[in-house]
Amino acid sequence: MAADSELTPTKYIDHHLTHMTVQVSEGAFWTLHIDTLVTSILLGFLGIGFVWLVVRKATPGVPSRRQAFVELMIEFIDNEVKNTFHGNRHVFVAPTALTIFVWVILMNTMDIMPIDITAWVTENVFGLHYWKIVPTTDVNTTFALALSIWFLMIFFSVKVKGLGGWMHELFCTPFGKNPLLWILNLLFNFIEYVSKPLSHSLRLFGNIYAGEIIFLLLGMWAATGVAGAFFGAILGAGWAIFHILIVTLQAFIFMMLAVVYISMAHESH
């Protein structure tokens, strides 16, 4: 919690939802959410690094427990990709799916961390007044991921079908080749291309952000007294347990959508 002399609910929530920022250059755009960036990169190193360390010593013989765990995860993801993507998935799509899953699930999992304890630690141990530890409650993160996938989608569309093929798809699907329908097709595709990254990123952001807000509300309730602390703790525990499901599910959905979008870019209509 903040070391403010007077703590109101507004201040409490506001404090927890404020990013630590660094101004890179002039202008509102050139702000950097350093907390989001550092936490997410640390988590990425942690997750991908763990997988890498295990995989580096992977044996084709009897696997160790850690290797078996990593293999289980990777085979699960590989199976999902195999069912969706018809092509050589090992070159790019499957490793990308693995990256997304590992990274997003770790970033989401930060949501389960007790918010006020982590806030206390970042404030009193590291001396950081504002530090949001859940990178996926920052739209910048989810948009960054979704837009990267979006660009990959367009890249693969052009790469597989050629620029002409992609243009043909934009103008001639889904309604037909008739020139009268070109505008309609283009409009439809435009909406699709806009809605894909929006829904992709906002679904993840919304779920995790909502989870964060509920934790904050429960934390506020806990501040009201003994009864509030009691029920706040019980409900907080319940919500955290339920959140394990949401965290995993959202990471999985995000990964699957990325795979589906990239696969669709590979298939011509």
Partner 1 sequence: MNINFTLISQALAFSTFIWFTVKFVWPPLLKAIEERQKTIADGLAAGERGKHELELASQRSSEILKEAKQQAAEIIQQAEKRASEIVEESKKTAKEEGGRIISGAKAEIDHEIFSAKEALRQHAAELAIAGASKILRREVDAKAHADLLATIEEDLK
Query: For 111-133, b where at least 16 C-beta lie within 10 A, e where not — what string?
Result: bbeebbebbeebbeeeeeebbbb
Q: Which is nearer to partner 1, 34 or 113 (CB)?
A: 34
> Closest approach of Cβ 99 to partner 1, in Å?
4
φ/ψ of residue 25, rounded to 5: -150, -175
> Closest approach of Cβ 61 to partner 1, in Å?
7
Q: Which of 40, 108, 157, 207 is catalytic?
A: 207
> Closest approach of Cβ 85 to partner 1, in Å?
14
Q: Which is nearer to partner 1, 90 or 177 (CB)?
A: 90
Q: Which of 65, 199, 201, 263 is catalytic?
A: 199
- Spatial separation of the C-alpha atoms in residues 136 and 141, rounded to whole Å: 6
For 80, other C-beta atoms within 10 Å of its C-beta total: 18
> Closest approach of Cβ 28 to partner 1, in Å?
7
DSSP the chain: ----SS--HHHHHHHHTPPPEEE-SSSSTTEEEHHHHHHHHHHHHHHHHHHHHHHHT--SSSPPHHHHHHHHHHHHHHHHHHHH--S-TTTTHHHHHHHHHHHHHHHHHGGGS-HHHHHHHHHHTS--S-----GGGSHHHHHHHHHHHHHHHHHHHHHHHHHHHHHHHHHHTTT-S-GGGHHHHHHHHHHHHHHHHHHHHHHHHHHHHHHHHHHHHHHHHHTT-HHHHHHHHHHHHHHHHHHHHHHHHHHHHHHHHHHHHHHHHHS--
Q: Which is nearer to partner 1, 80 or 138 (CB)?
A: 138
> Closest approach of Cβ 183 to partner 1, in Å?
30
> Closest approach of Cβ 20 to partner 1, in Å?
11
Q: Which is nearer to partner 1, 63 or 228 (CB)?
A: 63
Q: Which is nearer to partner 1, 99 or 185 (CB)?
A: 99
Verify whether residue 207 is a known catalytic residue.
yes
Q: Which of 148, 189, 203, 268 is catalytic?
A: 203
Verify whether residue 199 is a known catalytic residue.
yes
Q: Which is nearer to partner 1, 41 or 210 (CB)?
A: 41
User: Contact residues for partner 1 (CB under 8 A)?
Assistant: 24, 28-33, 36-37, 40-41, 44, 48, 51-52, 55-56, 58-61, 63, 67, 70-71, 74-75, 90-92, 94-96, 98-99, 103, 135, 138-141, 143-145, 147-148
Residues labelled catalytic: 199, 203, 207
